[in-house]
Every structure is written in C-alpha cells, then in structure tokens.
Amino acid sequence: MIPISNPSARSAPPPTQTPATASTDRTSTLSAQNTTLDRPARHLDSASRTAVRLQDVTKDFGGGVLGLDDVSLEFDTGTITALLGLSGSGKSTLLRHLNGLQRPSAGTVSVLGHDVASLRGDSLRSLRREIGVIFQHFNLIGPMSVLENVCTGRLGSLKGPRLSLMMYPKAVRHEALDKLDRVGLADRAFQRADTLSGGQQQRVAIARALMQHPRILLADEPVASLDPVSARGVMSLLQEISAENRLTVVTSLHQVQLAIDFAERIVGLRSGRVVLDQSTEGLDAAEASQIYTSVSGIGPTGLGSPDGQDDGDPDHGHGGHA
C-alpha cells in the first residue's frame, strides 16, 4: 500500500488492481454514497439496455440556428459512440443535452431513465454525478498535484470545501491512486498536473472522471489537442474502461479513422441533423471515405479543423468544450 500522504513514496511500486477488484470497490463505495445522498433511481430506461434516448429533439438557438434538428437516437449501455461532423454541426450541443447543461426546445432527452428536462437542483446534480465529462483541454488545475486533481472528481459527493490533498478522506486518496494506476500514471501522483504531456493530462482527466463512478462518460473532442500516438492511446484507454465498467461513452471526434478503430458506432451530424448512423464493424475503406462525404458534404478530404469555438452559453459548465 502506498502511503499517499507522503510524497516521498513516489518511487514505490504502484498498487495493482484487477477489473474485478475495481468493480467490487465501485459497488461498495456506491452503496456507501447511497446512504447519504439522494441519488436518482438506478434503473435503466424501459428497454433496460438503453442508457440514453433522444426523441425528436430540436434545439433552437434563435436567429434561424438549430443546434439540433429533430434528432432521435438511442445509446445502449456499455457502448462507445463517436459523433462526427464539421465544426458547428451540433456535436457539443448534443453532449450538453445529455447532462442537462442545455435543454431541448422540443422533444425529450431521457438519461438513465430520467427525463432530463424535468430535473432541477438536487435531482439534476444527482444525475450529473452519474455522468463523467472530459474535455479537449483537459481542464485540470495546473499547479495542483496530479493526485489532488483526481480527488476533485469526488467533490460532487463530499460536503464542504477541500483546500488540500490531506483534506480528502484517506479512502478517497487511496481510490484516486488506484484510478491513477488504472490509467498508467500512479508514478506521477505527486507531480504538478501542468508538467505532464497532453496525453498524460487527458489520462488524469479520465481518472478524475472515474472517481465519480460514472455510468456514462461524455467526451467532447477528447483527442483534438493530442498528437496521433497520444490520441490513439487515450481512445484505447476509453475503449478498455468502457468494457471494464460497462460505461456508456459518447465522444465527439474529428477523425473518421479513430472513430472506426475505437467506437462501435458512428453518428454523423450536419447542421444539427443526423445524416449517418452506422456500426463500425467490418467497415471497409470505401465506406469510411463515404463517411467523410456524408458528414462534411465536401468529399473525402477530411472534416476541417478542430473547432475552438465557445458559445458563451451562460449555463455552459466547467469552462470547457462540453
């Protein structure tokens, strides 16, 4: 066991954790949380396999801009779906509807059996605890240690402020170290977060999200700031974690190849409309090239540059692209 209160322990071997151990921990911690928190009903949508359902969802931003235009989709529990589309096609808007950062102008969004638009206050916060989010720019606190950044993933379930690592319960610190180990960074626990590479920072952000024990993970352009090798590493990690935890992952991406290699399904958006929805299984090169054309409308030359736009939405939380 690493004495996580002691930074000199950095050189100690990281703890090992099998997926089986992780799921046991998850169950015990969740039931502990359930005794103190008003969590949403833990049942799935009526189909029981469906984690997320959008029905006829339109988001009208005014001025003729439809962020989403009559979108109906379901995301099955434990699957990874890639949202593809040019900048402005509605990917972030769709993701924001899943955790209630935005509400539909028409239609319904149902997540883990809850009609998101009907939730307010505590019930909305409870649902959000079930939904981890990662961002293009990681949104770590740079000067803070890696381990403390991971611990902040539990803040939504703890009462009162935590002004230093030692203010987190020991069990939380240990679990954070386990999560860091899971993403391959236990040896960086006491390093400043802003001294890590982009790929490492995104892994820390994933470890932080896992501290919520999420059932859904939303990832808005998670690899758009990374080099190709780090990008594949992060996507591969998301794939593994999804399989281990039956985590439903919805991620926006710009590269068709990454979507094909790491997602089970591709949903293409154009001007807020779903223009493509297909399994990635057995896709050949010609079909992949057709995907570029479908979502961009401009032929297989790529999907344009990653978007850096921020819409200034007042309820746009976390200061990131989600």
Ligand X SMILES: Nc1ncnc2c1ncn2[C@@H]1O[C@H](COP(=O)(O)OP(=O)(O)O)[C@@H](O)[C@H]1O
Instruction: Report d(CA 156, CA 167) in Å as an integer.
Output: 15
Binds ligand X by CB under 6 A, chosen from 50, 77, 79, 89: 89
Instruction: Give the nearer residue to ligand X in terms of CB position, either 154 or 321.
Output: 321
Q: Is 214 in the site for ligand X (CB under 6 A)?
A: no
Choose the stretch contacting Mg ion; rule: CB under 5 A; options: 87-95, 182-190, 278-286, 297-305: 87-95
Q: Is 60 in the site for ligand X (CB under 6 A)?
A: no
Binds Mg ion by CB under 5 A, chosen from 77, 89, 92, 145: 92
**Residue 296 main-chain phi, psi, to 5 deg:** -100, -30
**Residue 299 main-chain phi, psi, to 5 deg:** 85, 170
Q: Is 92 in the site for ligand X (CB under 6 A)?
A: yes
Q: Is 32 in the site for ligand X (CB under 6 A)?
A: no
Q: Is 91 in the site for ligand X (CB under 6 A)?
A: yes
Q: Is 87 in the site for ligand X (CB under 6 A)?
A: yes
Closest CB 289 distance from ligand X, rounded Å: 21
Instruction: Give the nearer residue to ligand X in terms of CB position, either 45 or 307.
Output: 307
| Joined tokens for residue 237 | 């990690």
Q: Is 65 in the site for ligand X (CB under 6 A)?
A: yes
Going residue by residue from 34 to 73, which x/- string records binding to Mg ion, judged by CB under 5 A? ----------------------------------------
Instruction: Report d(CA 314, CA 286) in Å as an integer.
Output: 42
Closest CB 292 distance from ligand X, rounded Å: 15
Closest CB 94 distance from ligand X, rounded Å: 7
Instruction: Report d(CA 206, CA 49) in Å as an integer.
Output: 24
Kindly list the strands in the beta sheet with 80-84, ordered across the sheet, starting from the edge strand earlier in the chain: 131-135, 216-220, 248-253, 80-84, 265-270, 273-279
Q: Is 136 in the site for ligand X (CB under 6 A)?
A: no
Q: Say which entry of Mg ion, ligand X, none residue 61 contacts (CB below 5 to 8 A, set by partner kind).
A: ligand X
Instruction: Give the nearer residue to Mg ion in terms of CB position, either 134 or 180.
Output: 134
Closest CB 91 distance from Mg ion, rounded Å: 5
Kindly give, in sequence order, each residue whose CB lies less than 8 Å from that of residue 315, ignoring residues fewer than 6 positions away.
Answer: 101, 102
Binds ligand X by CB under 6 A, chosen from 54, 80, 88, 212: 88
Binds ligand X by CB under 6 A, chosen from 244, 261, 264, 313: 313
- Cβ burial of 125 (10 Å; 0-12, 13-18, 19+) is middle
Q: Is 126 in the site for Mg ion (CB under 5 A)?
A: no
**Residue 261 main-chain phi, psi, to 5 deg:** -75, -30
Going residue by residue from 153 to 182, which x/- string records binding to ligand X, judged by CB under 6 A? ------------------------------
**3 state DSSP class of 93:** helix
Pairing status of strand 114-115 against strand 106-111? antiparallel
Closest CA to 248 of 208, 217, 279, 210: 217
Choose the stretch contacting ligand X; rule: CB under 6 A; options: 41-49, 80-88, 126-134, 224-232: 80-88
Cβ atoms within 10 Å of 200's Cβ, excluding its own: 21
**3 state DSSP class of 189:** coil
Closest CB 321 distance from Mg ion, rounded Å: 5
How distant, in Å, are the alpha carbons of 100, 221, 229 from that of 152? 21, 22, 28
Q: Is 40 in the site for ligand X (CB under 6 A)?
A: no
How distant, in Å, are the alpha carbons of 141, 156, 321 from that of 33? 26, 11, 29
